[in-house]
Chains A and B, each alone.
Chain A
Amino acid sequence: MSQTVLRRAFLRSVSAFGAAALFLSAMSEGAVAQDDRTSVRIGYAVSLSGANAGGAGITTIPNYRLWVEDVNAAGGLLLPDGSRLPIEVIEYDDRSSSEEAVRAVERLATQDEVDFILPPWGTGFNLAIAPLMARAGYPQIAVTAVTDRAPEFVERWPSSFWLLGGGADYSTALAAVMAEARDAGAINNQVAMISVADGFGIDLVNAARPALTEAGFELVYDEVFPVGTSDFSTILNEARATTADSFVAFSYPPHTFALMQQAQVVDYSPPLFYLGVGAGFPVFQNMNAENVEGVMSLGGIDPNNPLNAAYRERHQEVIGAPADYWASVITYSSLQMLQQAIERVGLDREAVTQELATGTFETAAGTIMLENNQLRDLWWVGQWQGGTFVGVAPTDREGASAPQLPKPGWN
């Protein structure tokens, strides 16, 4: 490269930097006047595209839209002085990338100057934005983040809230349900267990192994399968060849659907059949009709809670699809908590954070009061019973259905 060309290239690049600087300064003028507000600005960056779009599209986005629709239909968010302000939504796509999620939240906080930021979908993304949210003083009501380290995170980021429990909660509750069923003679003490080699599966299986052993179960089959697995016939045949009465799979939605279908094909119907994420999705029921009866998984609902029933009806009506049976109602309830906190203390973020931590809220998932910024009152184990995915554990929780074991065979 000759020196003239080099210099020309360099000058050109200097002007490009200049243009970029202009662009930046132009963008920083987009701030809104805080006085005479005509709306409450609420922003979120969720995975609309990429690997996480499936999960976000089922659990997170529909509930954000439903809530905004509900609030605005009622005239807006109620403020302590009795006035109402409509919600103005700013929606971004994090494209399933942490870097994008971080930048989108920076944009929401400092560019759009939104009043509140709703959390993204997934544990990783909630953690990625947590330091920013805490620094900018936004309460972060993380729902779709299953983590055993929530107490530590609360200490680190005091304005963060963790609403879906940790892997160990789900596994130990399952072990307790199984122990009870074994003592009642419904199943034997052998378990065939598989898990996906990914964050969620590993968390659950790591907690399940000691919990099951401690409860006196024998793990006769314990396999880890890669995320990309789609053919489970070998695994299912090997599990069937054991004498275990219980089949437990800590799986993601694609595996859950495949396992359910292939178990019917190879006619493997153990007395206890537990699948991972996805078994509470409405599409799971559509695909398998009455064969879902008796299948267990995470989450569940109290079928006799009228608020929840009303929520599910509304979800179907507005979104055009039924809500899933695990995190959907918690997502919607987290927004109701935010709504009620604003109603009580106004739009001051610090006061809202304080109220979220200490207040009591009436939500679609029942009365919610957080303990140390975490929701501990959750359905850890659920089971399909009569076409509804009902919560069966913790067994002493109000509204708990009794687990029905053994599961009926395939039709």
Chain B
Amino acid sequence: MNTTVAFILAAAALAGLAIAPLFLNAYGIGLLVGMTGYVVLASAWAMFSGPTRYVSLATVAFFGIGAYTVAVLSETLPYPLVLLCACAIGLTVALIVGLSTLRLAGIYFVIFTFGLAELIRQLVTWYEVNVTGTLGRYIFLPFEGIHIYWQLLALAAATLLLSWWINRSRLGLALRAVGDDEVVAAHAGINVSRAKLMLFALSATIITLVGAIQAPRWVYVEPAIVFNPTISFLTLIMALLGGATRLWGPALGAIPLFLLFEWLSANFPNYFSIILGVFFIGIVFFLPQGVLAKIEGLRRPARKAPPENKERSGAA
């Protein structure tokens, strides 16, 4: 019954959010676009990294692929097809990367994913310089903030629904087992590689779509603009703040952090980077499991907290 109620409430919230921009000015819509974008990014990131505890910094690699696909194809293909192409490219890259690297664990995976973003950026640059002979690309699509917001909102709903479904499925159980102990999971008969690969590809495809949907807002893209590593870091810290293992965790991390960053950059533009850094450190030190887990921990002090060492690895 609770699930039904939750679904009805979620649908109502979604409807409310869908009509919200009709009452807001351009800046309000801009805020919603940015916020929804990060909710999707953080949720998609947590879809893979939450249960498996593989910390990925490749977010911007896929985000950038999406944006670039739109830039390259927006004048030759109808928009829905462009989005499909972006999905296909993101998925293909994720499968190739996943197949070759999901054997890496811990810090090696983190470093690899960080390098992946840079690798793709350099590849795009190399291609543009040597093959097409131009670097900046233009996206002239007739979208305003509100259109982009609606697309992102739909994607957010789909992402959360998918996360919810995966959590309840055998795949989700398998992934949690992998996160707890990969060797044990393998011995329990879980096809570890397949499970990880599927989730990585799914998460990467959603991230690719976010980049593709948001790109028309910038009109002009070049590798330095779309492969901005800050996006990876922000996504990570938002998901960690909310709690990467919870369904609503990433969203709950993304919304307050996004609004905080917005408030900071409007009021303290000169100290933004310093405050951001302090925040990163604070979250990792004080909320390694995220806000949701912390609140639950406070509410149920009698229940023992889970063993420390496992929790640490999730936030490393």
Contacts and interface: CB of A to CB of B under 8 A. Distances in A.
A219 interface: no
B259 A197 contact: no
Nearest to A5: B296
B53 interface: no
A7 B272 contact: no
Nearest to A11: B9
Contact of B220 (A28, A96, A111, A127): A127
Contacts of A97: 225, 228, 230
A20 B254 CA distance: 12
B186 interface: no
Contacts of A111: 25, 27
Given A49-B272, A51-B224, A107 B266 contact: yes
A226 B223 CA distance: 13
Contacts of B219: 127-128, 130-131
A109 B28 CA distance: 11
A24 B136 contact: no
B239 to A, nearest CB: 14
A259 B74 CA distance: 39
Nearest to A104: B265
B27 A197 contact: no
B7 to A, nearest CB: 9
A3 B255 contact: no
Interface residues on B, range: 35 or more
A106 to B, nearest CB: 4
Contacts of A107: 27, 30, 266
Contacts of B144: 135
A228 B83 CA distance: 32
B28 A128 contact: no
Given A10-B10, A93-B270, A95-B230, A224 B3 contact: no
Interface in B229-287: 230, 246-249, 251-252, 255-256, 259, 262, 265-266, 269-270, 272-273
A6 B247 contact: yes
Interface string B200-235: 000000000000001001111110110010100000
B230 A3 contact: no
Nearest to A91: B269
Contact of A92 (B145, B248, B265): B265
A230 to B, nearest CB: 16
A202 B134 contact: yes
B135 A109 contact: no
Interface string B26-49: 111111111101000000000000
B302 interface: no
A24 B26 contact: no
Given A3-B3, A4-B2, A95-B272, A16 B30 contact: no
Nearest to B125: A197
Contact of B24 (A10, A24, A50, A51): A24
B133 A202 contact: yes
Interface residues of A, number: 60
A378 B270 CA distance: 34
B111 interface: no
Contact of A14 (B9, B214, B218): B9
Given A48-B269, A199-B135, A106 B30 contact: yes
Contacts of B2: 3-4, 6-7
Most buried by A among B2, B6, B27, B230: B27
B26 A17 contact: no
A341 B269 CA distance: 30
B289 interface: no
Nearest to A9: B248
Given A28-B28, A111-B25, A99 B13 contact: no
Contacts of A51: 224
Given A17-B17, A48-B269, A93-B269, A10 B31 contact: no
Given A6-B2, A9-B247, A20 B225 contact: no
Nearest to B220: A127
B41 to A, nearest CB: 12
A89 to B, nearest CB: 12
A10 B248 contact: yes
A131 B140 CA distance: 10
A23 B259 contact: yes
Contacts of B29: 106
Interface in A134-165: 135-136, 156
Contact of A206 (B30, B134, B224): B134
A16 B252 contact: yes
A124 B220 contact: yes
A163 B97 CA distance: 44
Interface string A83-110: 0000000011101111110111011011
A404 B272 CA distance: 47
Given A106-B30, A107-B266, A1 B217 contact: no
Interface of B: 2-3, 5-6, 9-10, 13, 16-17, 20, 24-35, 37, 122, 125-126, 128-130, 133-136, 138, 140, 144-145, 167, 214, 217-222, 224-225, 228, 230, 246-249, 251-252, 255-256, 259, 262, 265-266, 269-270, 272-273, 292, 295-296
9 contacts: A9-B249, A20-B259, A27-B28, A28-B28, A48-B270, A99-B214, A100-B265, A123-B220, A224-B129
* Closest 7 pairs (CB-CB, A-B): A127-B220, A93-B269, A98-B218, A106-B30, A110-B25, A3-B2, A106-B27
Given A95-B272, A103-B27, 9 more contacts: A7-B5, A10-B10, A28-B24, A95-B273, A111-B27, A124-B224, A199-B135, A199-B136, A224-B129
Interface of A: 1, 3-7, 9-14, 16-17, 20-21, 23-24, 27-28, 48-51, 91-93, 95-100, 102-104, 106-107, 109-111, 123-124, 127-128, 130-132, 135-136, 156, 197-199, 202-203, 206, 224, 226-227
